[in-house]
Structure 1
Amino acid sequence: MQGLHLTADLHDCRCAPPWLTDATLLGERCLRAVGAAGLQAVGQLFHNFPATAEGPGGVTATVLLAESHLCVHTWPELRGATLDVYVCNFGADHSAQAHALLDALLALFEPGRVERHEISRGDAAMVRA
Structure 2
Amino acid sequence: MNALGRHILAEIYGCSADMLNNADIIEKCMVEAALRAGAEVREVAFHKFSPQGVSGVVVISESHLTIHTWPELGYAAVDVFTCGDTVNPWDACNYLGEMLKAKDMTATEVKRGIFNEPVKVANY
Query: TM-score with structure 2 length normalisation?
Result: 0.83
Q: CA deviation at 1:43?
A: 0.7
The residue number in structure 1 matching 2:95 is 104
Matched, 1:62 2:57: yes
Q: CA deviation at 1:124?
A: 5.7
The residue number in structure 1 matching 2:40 is 40
The residue number in structure 2 matching 1:54 is none
> What RMSD in Å do the two structures reach over aligned CA positions?
1.9
Matched, 1:122 2:122: no
Higher helix share: 1
Q: CA deviation at 1:111?
A: 2.2
Higher strand share: 2
Letter in 2 for 1:86: F
Preserved contact between residue 18 and residue 71 of structure 2 (Cα < 8 Å): no
Letter in 2 for 1:11: Y
Over the matched positions of the two proteins, sequence identity in percent amounts to 30
Letter in 1 for 2:40: Q
Preserved contact between residue 18 and residue 25 of structure 1 (Cα < 8 Å): no
Q: CA deviation at 1:7?
A: 0.9
The residue number in structure 1 matching 2:9 is 7
Q: Which runs of 5+ in 1 are unaligned?
A: 52-56
Preserved contact between residue 6 and residue 83 of structure 2 (Cα < 8 Å): yes
Larger of the two Rg values belongs to structure: 2
What CA distance in whole angstroms lies between the structure 2 residues aligned with 1:114 and 1:21? 18
| Aligned pair partner of 2:81 in 81, 86, 90 | 86
What CA distance in whole angstroms lies between the structure 2 residues aligned with 1:69 and 1:6? 11
Letter in 2 for 1:74: T
Preserved contact between residue 9 and residue 82 of structure 1 (Cα < 8 Å): yes
